[in-house]
Each structure stands twice: as C-alpha cells, then as structure tokens.
Homo-oligomer: A and B are copies of this chain.
C-alpha cells in the first residue's frame, strides 16, 4: 500500500477558494445564461493541476497525486460580438479598499498584454460586506498600480473609476451590459480622435 503517510487527509473536500465562492457562482451562472441565450461565449478556465501520480479505477484514469498550480492568466475569457473578453473576479471582506495581494503579478502582465492586443480586460471586485460588486477596467487598474505604491486600491478610487454591477435574478451579474458601454466608449473615443 504505497500511500505516502506524510499526506494528512481531510474528511471532506473544502474548496480553498471558498471565500470567493458566491461571486464565482454568480459569474458562472451569468456565463451560463449568456451561453444559453446566445449572448456571449465566456468560460471560466479550469484550475491548472500538475498530476504527479496517476492510476486506474476499473478502466478509468484517476489522479492519485496532484498539485494546484498558480494560473498564469486570468480566470475568465471568451468572446462577445467579435470582441475578446478577459477578466479576473475577486471578493474582499474589506470595507475600505481592495487588497492588491489578491492579484498576481503575472495576471497584471496578462491584463496589460490583453489591452495592448486590443482585447477588453477588466476585473470584477465584490466588497462582500458592503454587498456591492464593481467592474474596474483593466487600464484603470493598471493606471492605479503604476502611479501608486499602496498595497491596496482604496474604495473611493473604485467608486470613481469602476461601474457598479447590479445583482439581478437573471442574469445574476449582467456585466456584458457594462462591457457594451465600454465598447461604445472605445468606438466613440476612436471616432473623435480620427
């Protein structure tokens, strides 16, 4: 029974992203709604896992040892009306600021790449204790980080530059409506600068 005894087993599986669970669920339901109603094709990327030991259960392959890897990109991406959409979703219990420790450096670099290659990048931030969810555009996120040495983005900045995503019954978080305005804004900006 070659089972390494240094691994302490848990009785039940607890998702380590539990904190962000309800926002994640809301977004997954919203994406399902977009898919079923043929509005947008946006998926959550699977969590990358490195399987180091694999066996068989009957004829089915099963991982017997695997590690969670740090994702190199954001969690969600897809397609809306010809536009490439890319975002990360995070929940915080803070009432005053969004802690930047929530976003990895390579995720920021990814967001910068998406902007450079003419995609639409943003972050969805939920202040769970304030019951409010914001969409903050990628460039507003990058701008703040480039110009400030703070370890968090204060709520007033998010209130000024972000857009509130209202919660509804269906779709739960209609963020595509806001993306639509961003697209119109982008085109407007393009037209006035031509």
Question: Of A21-29, A111-119, A149-157, which stretch is located at the interface?
Answer: A111-119
Check B51 against A48 for contact (C-beta < 8 Å).
no
A40 in the interface (beta carbon within 8 A): yes
A59-95, CB < 8 A from B = 60-69, 71-73, 77-84, 86
Question: Of A8-16, A96-104, A122-130, A134-142, which stretch is located at the interface?
Answer: A8-16
> Which residue from chain B places its CB closest to the CB of A69 in the assembled complex?
B46
A6 in the interface (beta carbon within 8 A): yes
A131 in the interface (beta carbon within 8 A): no
Q: Mark A42-59, 1 if CB is under 8 A from B, else 0.
A: 010111110111111110
A54–B113 Cα distance when bound, in Å, is 34
Checking B2, B61, B63, B110 against A41 with a beta-carbon cut-off of 8 angstroms, the contacting residue is B110
A5 in the interface (beta carbon within 8 A): yes
A113–B35 Cα distance when bound, in Å, is 9
Check A46 against B46 for contact (C-beta < 8 Å).
yes
Which residues of chain B come closer than 8 Å to A81, judged between CB atoms? 117-118
Checking B7, B82, B86 against A117 with a beta-carbon cut-off of 8 angstroms, the contacting residue is B82
Check A46 against B49 for contact (C-beta < 8 Å).
yes
Which residues of chain B come closer than 8 Å to A16, judged between CB atoms? 61
Which residues of chain B come closer than 8 Å to A72, judged between CB atoms? 43
A160 in the interface (beta carbon within 8 A): no
Q: Mark A155-179, 1 if CB is under 8 A from B, else 0.
A: 0000000000000000000000000
A145 to chain B, nearest CB (A): 19
Q: List 15 A-B contacts (CB under 8 A).
A: A3-B3, A4-B57, A8-B56, A9-B64, A10-B55, A10-B56, A40-B117, A41-B110, A45-B45, A61-B68, A63-B66, A77-B78, A79-B86, A79-B117, A79-B119
Closest 7 CB pairs of A and B: A82-B118, A46-B48, A63-B66, A3-B3, A9-B55, A84-B84, A79-B84
